[in-house]
């Protein structure tokens, strides 16, 4: 009989925590999960799932306009914020129930409450202690807002999904993917939208052509983009409106200010440093290739280790850890190369592999293929939106190093190209692949002339 209450105690029932606990229990381990907020974590509740539902909703404004070119007249269309907000909430609650059933059906014990690590093998939840041979820490990440006068008046992405009233004018501060996504959402739903970013161009780390293309498309849609822009302070007025004082001392009034200035590992109040867990930058837990911390019985994965803050990455890390700890096969190390990702901006971004800048720095001899065209749909809709595609190729080996797209369904298209890059496809293989016609995706296999 084990000297511990559990073989594995998981702190956090987000994507990585649920996957790891379920698969560990299926492998025969006795597992408990503690969660003090909601099941499914950020992605299901206040992240990718509700955000993409909002993106769908926001796009209808353009769809109604585009319909005219196809003979449809849409009279009296109007947007009702409470309907979208509450329908989204019902769907999230449905998913919460699914996650609970997944855990229960796998034999995982669900403990409601916030957990804190007491020692290398003990966790405390709501005054009760539990012991475990191993502890897995997966509390995710949380929004970061810098300190400045009036910070208390801003909202973050967590709040945006539950606003009581829809703003007539909103200022989105930040230059990452969350900022550009919410700028597109609020604009599409009818708010006057300003996006402020302190740098020269948003989406740092993405391919420069992709960044510039999205900038131009967002400006074309009427979003007020302000680069090299900084908030000095925010004051709340008697009527509830907010007054922003910018760095140049000019002022501006709005109904809401959303800060999307990054996310940091959610490691506060977990007791980790007190028990000797080594922490890195921004409060991230330092782990080895097997997700083991400096305390051998304590493991961590997902956003809290701050490698790649993506839901599918956390799921894969959870599987890799379970294979290592409880699998009967040779453990498979996580491979962080060629991970495809999407930004649900409007238009979407899809990307996998190296940017042109990264490729030139690493390989030197790089060949670039680009295509920019008007989507077939818009030949009748009249919309001027352009689709952009790009291939980055090693000039020596002909291997495709990166694929990038800005346009409708970019995420759907890039998923398949992620498989191709993972398999080591060359440009010759792309060229010999017959396209599906007429689609935008076929452009990736018909680009013949280097840019």
Query: In the structure encoding, which two tokens stand for residue 92, read together?
Result: 């999230």
| 117 vs 11: CA distance, rounded Å | 9
Q: Please state, in angstroms and as integers, the Cα–Cα distance from residue 58 to each residue in 160, 344, 345, following that order.
A: 14, 11, 11
| 121 vs 27: CA distance, rounded Å | 21
The answer to whether 437 is a known catalytic residue is yes
Distance of CA 370 to the CA centre of its chain: 26
Length of the chain in terms of residues written: 451
**Active-site entry in 159, 375, 378, 437:** 437
The residues facing 119 across adjacent strands are 122
Distance of CA 409 to the CA centre of its chain: 16
Beta strands 400-406 and 349-353: pairing type?
A: antiparallel
Beta strands 169-173 and 263-265: pairing type?
A: unpaired
CB 414 within 8 A of CB 447: no
CB 251 within 8 A of CB 269: no
User: Which contiguous run of DSSP H or E holds residue 293?
Assistant: none
Q: What is the DSSP string of 89-137?
A: HHHHHHHHHHHHHHHHHHTPEEEES-EEEEETTEEEETTEEEEEEEEEE
| 219 vs 236: CA distance, rounded Å | 29
CB 115 within 8 A of CB 124: yes
- Residue 233's Cβ-count burial label (10 Å; 0-12, 13-18, 19+) is middle
Query: In the structure encoding, which two tokens stand for residue 415, read together?
Result: 């998923």
Q: Which residues contact 188 (CB under 8 A, 6 or more apart)?
A: 55, 57, 58, 59, 60, 61, 62, 346
Q: What is the DSSP string of 359-412?
A: HHHHHS-EEEEEEEEE-TTHHHH----EEEEEEEEETTT-BEEEEEEESTTHHH
The residues carrying an active-site annotation are 437
């Amino acid at each position: 009989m084990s000297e511990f209450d559990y073989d594995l105690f998981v702190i956090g029932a987000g994507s990585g925590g649920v996957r790891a606990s379920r698969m560990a229990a299926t492998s025969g381990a006795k597992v408990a999960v503690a969660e003090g907020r909601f099941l499914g974590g950020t992605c299901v509740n206040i992240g990718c799932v509700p955000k993409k539902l909002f993106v769908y909703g926001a796009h209808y404004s353009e769809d109604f306009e585009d319909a005219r070119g196809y003979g449809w007249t849409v009279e009296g269309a109007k947007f009702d914020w409470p309907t979208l907000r509450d329908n989204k909430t019902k769907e999230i609650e449905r998913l919460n129930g699914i996650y609970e059933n997944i855990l229960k059906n796998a034999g995982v014990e669900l403990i409601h409450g916030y957990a804190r690590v007491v020692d290398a093998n003990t966790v405390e939840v709501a005054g009760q202690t539990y012991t475990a041979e191993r502890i897995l820490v997966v509390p995710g990440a949380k929004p970061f807002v810098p300190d400045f006068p009036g910070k208390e008046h801003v909202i973050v992405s967590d709040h945006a999904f539950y606003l009581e009233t829809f703003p007539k004018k909103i200022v989105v501060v930040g230059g990452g993917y969350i900022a550009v996504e919410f700028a597109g959402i609020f604009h599409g739903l009818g708010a006057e939208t300003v996006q402020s970013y302190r740098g020269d161009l948003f989406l740092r780390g993405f391919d420069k052509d992709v960044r510039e293309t999205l900038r131009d498309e967002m400006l074309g849609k009427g979003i007020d983009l302000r680069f090299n822009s900084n908030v000095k302070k925010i004051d709340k007025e008697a009527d509830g409106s907010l007054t922003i004082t910018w760095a140049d001392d000019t002022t501006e009034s709005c109904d809401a200010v959303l800060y999307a200035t990054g996310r940091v590992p959610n490691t506060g109040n977990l007791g980790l440093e007190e028990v000797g867990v080594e922490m890195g930058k921004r409060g991230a837990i330092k782990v080895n290739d097997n997700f083991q911390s400096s305390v051998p019985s304590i493991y961590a994965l997902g956003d809290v280790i701050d490698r790649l803050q993506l839901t599918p990455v956390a799921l894969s890390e959870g599987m890799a850890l379970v294979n290592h700890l409880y699998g009967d096969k040779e453990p498979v190390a996580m491979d962080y190369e060629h991970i495809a990702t999407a930004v649900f901006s409007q238009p979407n971004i899809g990307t996998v592999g190296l940017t042109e800048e990264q490729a030139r720095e690493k390989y030197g001899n790089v060949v670039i293929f680009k295509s920019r065209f008007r989507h077939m749909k818009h030949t009748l809709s009249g919309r001027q939106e352009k689709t952009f595609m790009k291939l980055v190729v090693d000039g020596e080996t002909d291997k495709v190093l990166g694929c990038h797209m800005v346009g409708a369904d970019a995420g759907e298209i890039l998923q398949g190209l992620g498989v191709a890059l993972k398999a080591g496809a060359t440009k010759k293989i792309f060229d010999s692949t017959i396209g599906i016609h007429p689609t935008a995706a076929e452009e990736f296999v018909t680009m013949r002339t280097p840019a």
